[in-house]
Chains A and B, each alone.
Chain A
């Protein structure tokens, strides 16, 4: 028990500390690295909860893919953070407002989740017994039966976002010579080589 508690406070403390460092670090690349550290510790918390599938997916999706691209962009942009800091006071009111709204919403969610009997029943009902299922199977059964429409809708939203991003950034440039693999492979000896008999001293 004690080790479990120590591990929990270690991971939780690390999440908070690295989350603070994300906004406090001077160097944007360090910020991203701290963000990755906090993702990592969050997956540690999932393992402590016995949700090892979610823990691994968190690492694969957020750390292994999303944060890599994040780091990629931040490294490429070469942001001057001192310049960015100058607008701090100017953006403080609107940023604070957004933060406040999020905080209030969070309180509502938690309050409803604890007190409203209807919501509590909704949350606890469909969980299959964990003793005879691994949590991957349990999650799969839940997502693909009860929440299948919501899950598919979420997938469609992401697909639309992806297609939108591609459409926005794709531009057809003219005059660019591209390699046509099919044409290269389809080339035959007859159309690419011509053998001429050259008589000595005359040239072609």
Chain B
């Protein structure tokens, strides 16, 4: 009995607490991210943004959440009930489980697995199912069109994301996220691999269905795309999932290219701050860029989106994989 407690129950409880310690901050920061986005967009378009609930409107997202939570969950008559409800749950779960491998510092990570990058890539490639299932199960033309667009879009951009990840793996010589961060002690990968960094960030925008690639939910043509029929809690799950995915893709960009939890310079005033501070700070900067792009660029046309993915990013990233491999072999820089 004692061995059962020592062997299974105790580690199980510790893992549960670790999961909570990551999940709760992520969910709460989604609320503040929404506030941050609304305030930033407001400032960029010369408006005031939310300013009523709480000081400077900080509690607006929480008020919205309580409001939506108490609304009625409407399931359309023609909808496929099980799939209709499974879709938002899937989106939310996928957005949460991906955080398991994100290293907040050298030791601060729930699961330090040695295929961390592949795990994140796999999870992000599953994100499309939430959208496709929602679109199909809603039994609505708008939702279905949104789902079809999203499926094609996410599959297209995943290819170039894959090649970008391969380049980083070549340079870092490991698939463990902590090793990739450690490999950037001398120089952040964003500098030698600048084109890949740009490609990755733009693909991340497309992968998370954010502006200017938000065609799956283009409000001017598809009302709200795949989310048309969703209300109350299922809608909240989609919403949380989308914003958590945004943070996740930012975190992945930071880990792959901007040195993860490493301080920008390895000297005194920078090293005083703890490692998680740097990771979160860099994530916030990237999230600002996400919002900045939203305020700045008009939406892409669908054929332009496909052209960019297949005819520009794919050949460019493929070329860079070959180039990087060639340089590494020629100068004998391959990591051990």
- Tell me if B126 is interfacial: C-beta within 8 Å of chain A: yes
A71-79, A92-100, A122-130, A185-193: which lies at the interface: A71-79
The answer to whether A60 and B122 have CB atoms under 8 Å apart is yes
CA distance A163 to B83 in the complex (A): 36
The answer to whether B155 and A68 have CB atoms under 8 Å apart is yes
B110-118, B213-221, B248-256: which lies at the interface: B110-118
B45-53, B129-137, B274-282: which lies at the interface: B129-137
A15-23, A49-57, A149-157: which lies at the interface: A49-57
Interface residues of A in 118-149 (CB under 8 A from B): 134, 136
Contacts known (A75-B136, A136-B175); A56 close to B122, Cβ less than 8 A? yes
The answer to whether B132 and A68 have CB atoms under 8 Å apart is yes
Closest beta carbon of chain A to B210's beta carbon, Å: 19
Neighbouring B residues of A72 by C-beta, 8 Å: 132, 148, 151-152
Secondary structure of the B side of the interface?
Answer: helix
The answer to whether A65 and B125 have CB atoms under 8 Å apart is yes
Neighbouring A residues of B133 by C-beta, 8 Å: 33
CA distance A60 to B125 in the complex (A): 7
Neighbouring B residues of A76 by C-beta, 8 Å: 148
Neighbouring A residues of B155 by C-beta, 8 Å: 65, 68-69
Choose among A3, A27, A59, A181 the residue that contacts B126 (Cβ–Cβ < 8 A).
A59
- Tell me if A14 is interfacial: C-beta within 8 Å of chain B: no
- Tell me if B72 is interfacial: C-beta within 8 Å of chain A: no
CA distance A69 to B148 in the complex (A): 10
Secondary structure of the A side of the interface?
Answer: helix
CA distance A76 to B136 in the complex (A): 10
- Tell me if B119 is interfacial: C-beta within 8 Å of chain A: yes
CA distance A60 to B117 in the complex (A): 12
The answer to whether B136 and A68 have CB atoms under 8 Å apart is no
Closest beta carbon of chain B to A23's beta carbon, Å: 19
The answer to whether B126 and A71 have CB atoms under 8 Å apart is no
The answer to whether B136 and A63 have CB atoms under 8 Å apart is no
- Tell me if A35 is interfacial: C-beta within 8 Å of chain B: no
Choose among B113, B114, B122, B128 the residue that contacts A59 (Cβ–Cβ < 8 A).
B122
Closest beta carbon of chain B to A137's beta carbon, Å: 10
CA distance A65 to B125 in the complex (A): 8
CA distance A71 to B129 in the complex (A): 9
Q: Mark B163-183, 1 if CB is under 8 A from A, else 0.
A: 000000000000100000000
Of all chain A residues, the one with the shortest Cβ separation from B307 is: A181
Q: Which 9 A-B pairs have the closest CB atoms?
A: A64-B125, A56-B118, A59-B122, A60-B122, A52-B115, A72-B151, A134-B114, A56-B122, A56-B115
Instruction: Give the B-binding residues of A (Cβ under 8 A).
Output: 3, 27, 29-30, 33, 36, 52-53, 56-57, 59-60, 63-65, 68-69, 71-72, 75-76, 134, 136, 179, 181
